[in-house]
A = this chain, B = another copy of it.
Amino acid sequence: MPFNKKKKKYFAALLIIGDEILSGRTQDTNTNFLANWLNEHGIQVREVRVIPDLRHEIMKSINYLRKKYDYLFTTGGIGPTHDDITAESVAKAFKVKYEYNKEAYKILKDHYKNSYFNAARKKMAKMPKGAGLILNPSSSAPGFFIKNVYVLPGVPIILKSMMHYLEQLIVGGQKKLSENIKIDFPESKVSKVFSNLQKKFKDLSLGSYPFFKSGKVGVSLVISGYSSKRIFDCKKQLLLKLKKIKPH
């Protein structure tokens, strides 16, 4: 990353664009991948929206989310076919021209030098005026960014291959840290202790997530926040209190 204001907190939204997610045809995994990757880079995902391939829905969501959060990352809809309307809709959202990006055009022309560089392939070089590129080492068609909106492909393997380039374009802040304690008795046995600790440690987030394994009930207690010292103190107190609870 070019620059890291350690003390600032950064928040992001993800906009997952694609009928195939909404129809249930495709299991989205980009949300989980990006949430983890961004967290590692000091950016917290605070909201995700999945919307269909419809111009007005894309425009409306982009304009709402880009103003609400430090960053907006979109996935999907930047391929060569008629249903790939993300780039065009981003241009409309920003009220700028949708035109060939010279650099992207050159990259694609070089990539397709041994086969036909047809209209569909050329379309992948069309972007909002003023956009910067996010390079794509796997299938060459670049993503792009304009202001705080970063436009990425939907195919997970291609998206992942572009993270090295994305990393150089974004600025992250404080990383959210977390500790996870797994215990094998039910959530409702620890909820009082856990809730009292939350009141004591207001700067931390305490979450509990039940799980089921080989017919047994258990719970993951997750303490998260920005201060490792506070998380350590909270965990210590939690462990002391857990010792006093009878598991059954």
Contacts and interface: CB of A to CB of B under 8 A. Distances in A.
A64 to B, nearest CB: 11
Contacts of A7: none
A52 interface: yes
A208 B79 contact: yes
B119 A178 contact: no
B47 A83 contact: no
A216 interface: no
A12 B206 CA distance: 31
Tell me how many chains of this kind the complex includes. Answer: 2
Given A48-B50, A49-B49, A155-B210, A23 B176 contact: yes
A198 B19 CA distance: 15
Contact of A194 (B35, B82, B157, B206): B82
B22 A83 contact: no
Interface string A21-45: 1111111110111111101000011
A28 B31 CA distance: 9
A243 to B, nearest CB: 19
Given A191-B81, A208-B81, A210-B155, A35 B23 contact: yes
A121 interface: yes
Contact of A121 (B80, B83, B188): B188
A36 to B, nearest CB: 4
A80 B191 contact: yes
A223 to B, nearest CB: 12
A53 interface: yes
A3 interface: no
A49 B15 CA distance: 9
B191 A82 contact: yes
12 contacts: A21-B35, A22-B35, A22-B46, A23-B39, A47-B51, A49-B50, A80-B191, A81-B191, A82-B191, A83-B207, A115-B248, A155-B212
Given A24-B37, A28-B31, A119-B192, 18 more contacts: A19-B224, A20-B209, A21-B32, A22-B35, A22-B44, A22-B46, A23-B35, A26-B32, A26-B209, A27-B29, A48-B50, A79-B210, A82-B206, A83-B205, A115-B248, A120-B188, A120-B191, A155-B212
